[in-house]
Structure 1
Amino acid sequence: MRILITAETYPPDINGSAQFARRLARGMLERGHEVHVAAPMPTSGPSRIMDDAGVTEHRFRSHHAFTHPYFRLCFPWEIVREVARLFDDVRPDVVHVQCHYILGRLVVREAVRRGVRVVGTNHFVPENIEPFLPFPQWFVRGYRKVSWWDIARVYGRCDVITAPTPLAVRTMVDNGVPDRAIAVSNGIQAGDYEAAAGEQIEHPDHPIVLFCGRLAVEKNVDELIEAVALIPREKNVHAEIVGEGEQLDRLVKLAHEHGVADRVHFLGFLTDEQLRTAYLRADVFCQPGTAELQSLVTLEAMSASTPVVLANARALPHLADEGRNGYLFSPGNSGDLATKLQLVLDAPPEQRRAMGERSRDMVSRHSFAKTLDTFERLYTGAES
């Protein structure tokens, strides 16, 4: 097939949606399909076509969204003719859009006009953007309603609608998206994060709580720092925080204010291999975010046989088998988070190993190969 994947955020952006879109493009290419990606230019300048090891990227002129650290917007009057030209040149058999914003809606409109099959996957909830809106709360509440109306309008034109988890599907339907959406996991290549046979991972002489992700407001990393401060100092629990983002300076300051700057380590951006080692080295993985539609980093940590402590919010409860691979904590309650972390860290080594093994077992249902199989069937209309 000739597949056109459309993404409003795509590498070099670092977030789950962008990473999924690129893994999907590479996975479909490896299966012998011709793959094109439509995405905003990551920098200023005119639209251009680039090659990414066989995937053809059609990058459209874009502009920095002034309230967000990296998100870029395409203006419709600048690209509408270029979108039509893209369809003329590529003639896709199927279009797979990843978001409802400007580029996504223009691609959906053009595909529908030409009778091209459209699969729409939603990775978005308004809470992803709300922290970046410098407006009063009444405006933000209105924005949330309008956002869901807009999502329903754009995705309602798709032949197939998907989201990463059943909970994400239910959230969409509850907010007006047609009740025909289905759950398709983002998928994970679990073997990429497992320890190799005989591999020895150096572990420091103190317990490690790991967080990975954008340092954004909705990730609630401040709650993790506060939880570390609540754990008795003699336990010498350290937090390793992987990622970059607009909250970094605030979080560093918070660690100093709580007297744990010596035990909270900001590691910044890591390579894939460095991240894999971080997962394997950690005693427990923590995801305090409350806007997760699946959380790929949690799946990656579970693939590395790591116990988890997750916020009881959005899709995260699907990834915690309470007491068997970890625990859920009440969002906003740093004391509860501290208690749950200690339940894992104070458990005997054999119990922690069993919890990690349970994490690894749970990931098997999120095989990336199964995800590719499902989307191939959806692209051809064999499954709906």
Structure 2
Amino acid sequence: MSSLRILIGAETYPPTVNGAANFAERLAVGLAGRGHEVHVVAPSHAGRPAVEVRDGVTVHGVKSVRYPFHPDFPISMPWRALPATRRLVEALRPDVIHTQAHMVVGRGVVKAGKRAGLPVVATNHFMPENLTAHVPLSKYVLGPASKLAWRDLGRVFGKADAVTAPTPRAVELLVRGAGLTDAFPVSCGIDADRYAVPAPPHDVPSVLFVGRLDQEKRVDDLIRAFAALPAGLPAHLDIVGDGAKRGEWTALAAGLGIAGRVTFHGFVSEEELITRYATADVFCMPSIAELQSLATLEAMAASTPVVLADAMALPHLVRPGRNGWLFPPGDVAELSRRLATLLADAALRARMGAVSRELVAEHAFDATLDRFEGIYRQLISGEQPQARAA
């Protein structure tokens, strides 16, 4: 088939670290690897406008500033992003536009794409909880603000020709919150073989968390559950990632008397992250705001049992009693009990880890690329993509 010129709009892109940025990069690089001409437009990490080629992808950085409540997160102002994205769309004339966001850059590419008569695909990685955690609003304002955020998303994504989200649960949120009744799921996907490496030798079983250290991730629940493990049960807790709550949660571990059994690794290289997954005996994701959780998929690809909060899209990744368990969000005692059961039983961990590896095959990244390529070509030919039968 002929190659396509694809423009991906992103509100966040590496070197910024988060799930949406990670997926946007993997999608762009994966499509470029299949011979397509791929461009990405996103807030410039350097602040000034910039264009560079990385891994076969041309990245167009829009002038940005640092978000005051999250200084590692560059954002572009509407009066800069909208004209910049319009000029880029006019210059490139892509075959298809695929936005990963709706707020500023995403809004710009959708508006410019529809003005130019181009097919537009929109994929949602946003939940209001991901944003309000970094905005100093009172709890009385958060509810109305969340409703307004969903409505705004619906207005922008409602102009797209196809709307996707990573999981059926994420699609439910789009339908309920944004009124996007034609949205359908497409998994973010994962290259599972990348994480299938031998486990390094280690004497003490370990629990692993990977993600941003921000409030909605609820890592404080994990730390408290780890501190409540039975006395004499050997275990170590590895926390990979960084964020606004790192200092507070480091102090919490010290205050609970477990500082010597908890390691905050901060951001790590991809190679070290793969090693951390291989070393982990149990993976825990206590977050209440996951639309899929790539970190959980990566842990499953490394044949690791998982203990996840029964919240948002995380239940899609657990077969309770087969590859791990769910626990009620905030139930520290139940989380501690589930961790203790796995940490004390190596044979159970091995059985559940093998099932995790089997389940992750449903999320092969090549299938994700196939799906989006198919959606692009359907729209270009005038067909309307739809959800596939389960």
Aligned to 1:360: 357
Greater shift in the superposed pair: 84-93 or 208-217: 84-93
Aligned pair in 2 of structure 1 residues 123, 235: CA closer, same or farther (>3 Å)? same
Aligned to 1:18: 21
Greater shift in the superposed pair: 137-146 or 67-76: 67-76
Out of 5, 30, 33, the residue aligned to residue 33 of structure 2 is 30
- Once residues 262 and 81 of structure 1 are traced to their aligned partners in structure 2, the CA distance between those partners, rounded to angstroms, is 52
Aligned to 2:65: 63
Cα deviation for residue 346 of structure 1 reads 2.2
- Once residues 228 and 53 of structure 1 are traced to their aligned partners in structure 2, the CA distance between those partners, rounded to angstroms, is 40
Q: Is 1:122 the equivalent of 2:124? A: yes
Superposed CA offset, 1:186-207 (max 9, x none):
0000000002xxx4x3332211
- Once residues 284 and 227 of structure 2 are traced to their aligned partners in structure 1, the CA distance between those partners, rounded to angstroms, is 15
Superposed CA offset, 1:49-97 (max 9, x none):
1111321111101111111232222122223332222112211000000
Identity of aligned residues (%): 47
Aligned to 2:263: 265
- Once residues 79 and 363 of structure 1 are traced to their aligned partners in structure 2, the CA distance between those partners, rounded to angstroms, is 37
Amino acid at match of 1:315: A
Aligned to 1:51: 53
Q: Is 1:137 the equivalent of 2:139? A: yes
Superposed CA offset, 1:235-281 (max 9, x none):
02210001111111101100011010011111112211211111111
Q: How does 1:171-186 map to 2 (within 5 A)?
A: 171-186=173-188
Aligned to 2:216: 218
- Once residues 80 and 119 of structure 1 are traced to their aligned partners in structure 2, the CA distance between those partners, rounded to angstroms, is 18
Greater shift in the superposed pair: 170-179 or 23-32: 170-179
Unaligned 5+ segments in structure 1 are: none
- Once residues 233 and 202 of structure 1 are traced to their aligned partners in structure 2, the CA distance between those partners, rounded to angstroms, is 26
Amino acid at match of 2:343: L
- Once residues 252 and 269 of structure 1 are traced to their aligned partners in structure 2, the CA distance between those partners, rounded to angstroms, is 15
Amino acid at match of 1:129: L
Aligned to 1:252: 250
Cα deviation for residue 179 of structure 1 reads 0.6
> 2:81·2:104 contact (CA, 8 Å) conserved in 1?
no
Greater shift in the superposed pair: 84-93 or 289-298: 84-93
Q: How does 1:235-314 map to 2 (within 5 A)?
A: 235-314=233-312
Cα deviation for residue 43 of structure 1 reads 2.6
Q: Is 1:41 the equivalent of 2:82? A: no
> 2:200·2:278 contact (CA, 8 Å) conserved in 1?
no
> 2:230·2:340 contact (CA, 8 Å) conserved in 1?
no
Equivalent position SS for 1:235: coil
- Once residues 378 and 82 of structure 1 are traced to their aligned partners in structure 2, the CA distance between those partners, rounded to angstroms, is 26
Unaligned 5+ segments in structure 2 are: none
Q: Is 1:156 the equivalent of 2:158? A: yes
> 2:67·2:75 contact (CA, 8 Å) conserved in 1?
yes
Amino acid at match of 1:216: D
- Once residues 309 and 201 of structure 2 are traced to their aligned partners in structure 1, the CA distance between those partners, rounded to angstroms, is 26
Q: Is 1:370 the equivalent of 2:372? A: no
Amino acid at match of 2:155: R
The TM-score normalised by the length of structure 1 is 0.96
Aligned pair in 2 of structure 1 residues 172, 79: CA closer, same or farther (>3 Å)? closer
Superposed CA offset, 1:328-369 (max 9, x none):
11111111110011121223x332211001000000000000
Aligned to 2:193: 191
Aligned to 1:379: 376
- Once residues 126 and 203 of structure 1 are traced to their aligned partners in structure 2, the CA distance between those partners, rounded to angstroms, is 41
The TM-score normalised by the length of structure 2 is 0.95
Out of 329, 342, 345, the residue aligned to residue 343 of structure 2 is 345
Equivalent position SS for 1:18: helix
- Once residues 361 and 331 of structure 2 are traced to their aligned partners in structure 1, the CA distance between those partners, rounded to angstroms, is 31
Greater shift in the superposed pair: 63-72 or 220-229: 63-72
